[in-house]
A and B are shown apart, each in its own frame.
Chain A
Amino acid sequence: MEYRIKTPVSEEQVRRLRAGDMISIDGLMFTARDAAHERALELARRGETPPFSFEGLAMFHCGPIAQRTDHDWTIISAGPTTSSRMEMFESDFLEKFKVRIIVGKGGMGTKTTEAMRKVGAVYCAFTGGAGALAAAAVRRVTGVEWLDLGMPEALWKMEVERFGPLIVAIDAHGNNLYEVVAANVKENFSRLLKQI
Chain B
Amino acid sequence: MTEDGYLSRSIGETLVRLIGFAVIDLPRNVEHELQKALENETAEIAKEQLKAILKNIQVARKKHVPMCQDTGILMFHLRVGEDFPLKAGLRELITESVREATSRALLRPNAVHPLNRTNSGDNTGSGVPFLELELVQGDTLEVEVYPKGAGSENMSALRMLNPGEGIKGLKRFVLETVVGSGGKPCPPTVIGIGVGLCADGVMKLARKASMRPLPHRSKDPTVEALERELLSMVNETGIGPMGLGGRTTALTVNIETGYTHTAELPVGIIFQCWAARRGSARIHASGRAEYLSHEV
Contacts and interface: CB of A to CB of B under 8 A. Distances in A.
- The finding on whether chains A and B are genuine partners in a shared complex, rather than unrelated, reads yes
Given A82-B151, A151-B109, A192-B175, A125 B66 contact: no
Contacts of A165: 48, 52
Interface in A131-155: 131-136, 149-153
A181 B59 contact: no
B131 to A, nearest CB: 23
A35 B236 CA distance: 37
A65 B71 contact: yes
B110 interface: yes
Given A184-B238, A189-B179, A150 B109 contact: yes
B8 interface: no
Given A106-B182, A128-B183, A133 B237 contact: no
Interface stretch (B14-22, B241-249, B255-263): B241-249
A132 B65 contact: yes
B45 A132 contact: no
A100 interface: no
Contacts of A149: 119
- Of listed A67, A78, A82, A178, residue having the most chain B CB within 10 A: A82
- Of listed A35, A76, A127, A192, residue having the most chain B CB within 10 A: A127
B233 A131 contact: no
B109 A177 contact: no
Contacts of A82: 150-151, 154, 184
Contacts of A181: 182, 238-240, 243-245
Interface string B13-56: 00000000000000000000000000000000100110011011
Given A151-B119, A196-B171, A132 B242 contact: no
B69 A64 contact: yes
A98 interface: no
Interface string A183-195: 0111011001101
Nearest to B277: A129
Given A82-B184, A169-B244, A178-B243, A127 B119 contact: no
A77 B183 contact: no
A105 B183 contact: yes
B110 A184 contact: no
Interface of A: 20, 22, 35, 62-67, 76-79, 81-82, 84, 105-107, 125, 127-136, 149-153, 165, 167, 169, 177-178, 180-182, 184-186, 188-189, 192-193, 195-196
Interface of B: 45, 48-49, 52-53, 55-56, 59-60, 63, 65-71, 105, 107-110, 112, 117, 119, 121, 149-151, 154, 168, 171-172, 175, 179, 182-184, 186, 233, 236-240, 242-245, 273-275
Given A177-B245, A196-B172, 6 more contacts: A65-B105, A79-B70, A130-B55, A134-B69, A180-B245, A193-B175
9 contacts: A65-B66, A67-B105, A132-B56, A132-B65, A132-B66, A135-B69, A149-B119, A181-B182, A184-B238
> Closest 6 interchain pairs by CB?
A150-B119, A132-B60, A130-B56, A127-B52, A128-B186, A67-B105
